[in-house]
Structure 1
Amino acid sequence: MTLPSFCEERFPLRVAFGTSGGPERVTEIVRLSTGFETRNQRHRHSARRYDAGSGLRSLEDLAAVLAFFEARRGRLIGFRFRDPLDWCSGAPGRAVSALDQAIGIGDGQARAFALLKRYGTGEDAYLRPVQKPVAGTVRVAAGGVEVPFALDTATGVVTLDEAPAEGVGVTAGFEFDVPVRFDIDHLAVNIAAFEAGDIPSIPLVEVRP
């Protein structure tokens, strides 16, 4: 049997809500003899890291994570994970709107647009690809009016029924997951220590599916 490199199943949600972590950047810094320094980013996109151990609250949670770990074969198979802080197109606590994020400009021919999320404003804004939208939460508008579309939940590409006219802005709102994998192949758990408050480390790292 050939195993997939990625599974669309989501990590246990009740555990995900209590995890710690966030985006990681890799920046090379060279300090010159003049005292100035040069800085260079090695990767265009950040990679998120989490520790799911902090989300464990009960033996039931632990058993659920153990089963999920075994099903994913440790680091072998990636999966969906809901970031407890950053999981929707708009501000936290606000309902998803089809106007949340600008995802493209119509040219009269193109119908397919990739979902993305903008951080910051102006030319310095960071545009993050969103490849794992949650089915049933995505809304799309062209020129401020919601339009029908088809969604590929595995890639984050929406295909509109009709191509927007030239110059018409295309926007979208959505909830999304982060594609991750376990960053360990050995899940070491001591039940007595866990019941005494010793939480195991269960690292997760973002992947590009």
Structure 2
Amino acid sequence: MKYLTPTTLLLQATTALATPLLASRQRQDPAVFTGVSSFRGQGCEGATVTYDSLSQVATITYPNYGVVIPSGPREESCSTTLQVRFPVGQCTTGTASGTATGTVNVPVGVTAFFSARDYAIQPTIGTITDVSPNGQWAGPRSEEYVLQDSIGYTLTPPNAQNNLVNFTVFGDLSLQPQNGPVGSLTNRGFVFDIRTQVPC
């Protein structure tokens, strides 16, 4: 008969207790988009949102978000709010990433700006690291552009009343000087990805 030492027995008991805890952490429900979205600004007209099958990637399409000189609007803005549901009473940490795409066409002497892409997050979710670069193109430029940013976060919602978090991204498009001969800047779409998330 094989006898186990007290140390071996203690190790086996500790492992047996830890395994369900680890499994519980791995089974934590992920944060997902709720399907609730809103838009505010003259550049938001006709905007739509679609979600992937896991409700963790939101794709926003802006069919009318652009500025044109000399005949069109020289400046437009649009703020988009997406609601995310986090698991109640459990700590979640991760990085949400945003990608904006569009086109820029400006001649010499005209500069296009995509600015104010700061995020407003309500309610406050704890530790947040916001990286949101602006876009600036001095003519002559004619190209498709991609702007990427990210938000690192840690969230422990204490109850069901505040596990719904609104992520709002602001955007401003403008052309300078506004009396330039010709130019255009569009923002066709924005993708917000919350797949990178793990229990704390």
Structure 2 length-normalised TM: 0.32
Structure showing greater radius of gyration is 2
Higher strand share: 2
Q: Which one scores higher on RCO, CA 8 angstroms, separation ≥ 6?
A: 2
